[in-house]
């Protein structure tokens, strides 16, 4: 264990083949237990950054071409996904993907399939997820495809949590959801980091909500880290307000 950040991206560059350079210098540090927001306009490189960290770039074309990704100080830039997951680096992708015909509870259980867990451990994981999102208790036996968008997002997060991550990478959890639901989800995420020591890196187009709840934030512009710092301090800057928070 090092005293540095748990997850660190240092000057990472990603190419999608040919002349398309999606990232051209992204640096992000995620300390243990921190809630870090990755904000930026459409196409700034937020999703690509998360996929690079999780080694989930499209195999046929996307690749990290420069820079370094480290986990607990060790270079993991090209480490296979299953090994990253086993170490505790887990991505919950955009679009709240779940198995639509399985029940909510079955979906949550699938999150733990990658590791060997006893029934008691499984129960413990489920109890924690239901404590975090009490709403899911009420719909536990419903097919995931039939519950609301907010509940599906909670299922997607719950599934990722069932794999017991140490760093959770979360892509655009607010997408398509009502403001109150988004607020509820971000509060739960913040609580997770403070109470369980989990670190979260959330990519979010909704900068206002992300900066309100995160400890630190990274602003991406055209595939580069443009700003990095305390989330509240960034939210107070005139340029951040004007470009990302919709007011000067």
Binding segment for ligand ATP (CB under 6 A), chosen from 3-11, 43-51, 161-169, 233-241, is: 43-51
Q: State the DSSP code for 6.
A: S
Q: How far is residue 91's CA from residue 79's CA, in Å, rounded to a whole number?
A: 15
Q: Which of 4, 20, 131, 221 binds ligand ATP (CB under 6 A)?
A: 20
Chain center to CA of 65: 22
Residue found under tokens 């071409």: 65
221 binds ligand ATP (CB under 6 A): no
Residues near ligand ATP (CB under 6 A), total? 13
Q: Which is nearer to ligand ATP, 44 or 154 (CB)?
A: 44
Contact 35, 233 (CB under 8 A): no
Q: Which of 2, 4, 58, 149 binds ligand ATP (CB under 6 A)?
A: 58
43 binds ligand ATP (CB under 6 A): yes
Strands (E), 93-235: 167-171, 199-204, 216-221, 224-230
Q: How far is residue 110's CA from residue 118's CA, in Å, rounded to a whole number?
A: 13
Q: Which of 46, 164, 166, 213 binds ligand ATP (CB under 6 A)?
A: 46
Q: Which of 40, 67, 150, 165 binds ligand ATP (CB under 6 A)?
A: 40
Binding segment for ligand ATP (CB under 6 A), chosen from 40-48, 143-151, 193-201, 237-245, is: 40-48
Contact 132, 192 (CB under 8 A): yes
173 binds ligand ATP (CB under 6 A): no
* Residue of 211, 220, 215, 214 whose CA lies nearest to 247: 211
**In the complex, what is the shortest distance from the CB of residue 38 to ligand ATP, in angstroms, rounded to a whole number?**
8
Question: Which stretches of the chain bind ligand ATP, using CB under 6 A?
Answer: 16, 20, 22, 40, 42-48, 58, 205
């Amino acid at each position: 264990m090092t005293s540095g950040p748990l997850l660190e991206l240092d000057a990472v560059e990603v190419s999608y083949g040919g002349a398309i350079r999606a990232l051209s210098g992204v640096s992000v540090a995620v300390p243990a237990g921190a809630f870090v927001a990755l904000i930026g306009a459409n196409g700034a490189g937020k999703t690509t950054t998360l996929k690079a960290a999780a080694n989930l770039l499209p195999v046929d074309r996307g690749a990290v071409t420069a820079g370094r990704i480290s986990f607990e100080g060790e270079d993991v830039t090209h480490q296979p996904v299953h090994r990253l997951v086993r170490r505790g680096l887990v991505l919950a992708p955009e679009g709240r993907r779940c198995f639509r015909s399985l029940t909510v509870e079955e979906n949550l259980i699938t999150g733990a399939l990658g590791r060997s867990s006893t029934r008691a451990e499984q129960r413990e994981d489920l109890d924690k997820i239901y404590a975090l999102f009490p709403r899911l208790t009420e719909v536990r036996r419903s097919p995931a495809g039939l519950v609301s968008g907010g509940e599906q997002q909670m299922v997607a997060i719950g599934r990722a949590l069932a794999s017991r991550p140490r760093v959770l990478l979360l892509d655009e959890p607010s997408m398509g959801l009502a403001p109150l639901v988004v607020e509820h989800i971000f509060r739960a995420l913040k609580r997770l980091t403070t109470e369980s020591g989990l670190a979260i890196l959330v990519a979010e187009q909704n900068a206002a909500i992300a900066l309100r709840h995160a400890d630190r934030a990274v602003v991406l512009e055209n595939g580069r880290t443009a700003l990095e710092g305390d989330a509240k301090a960034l939210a107070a800057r005139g340029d951040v307000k004007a470009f990302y928070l919709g007011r000067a």
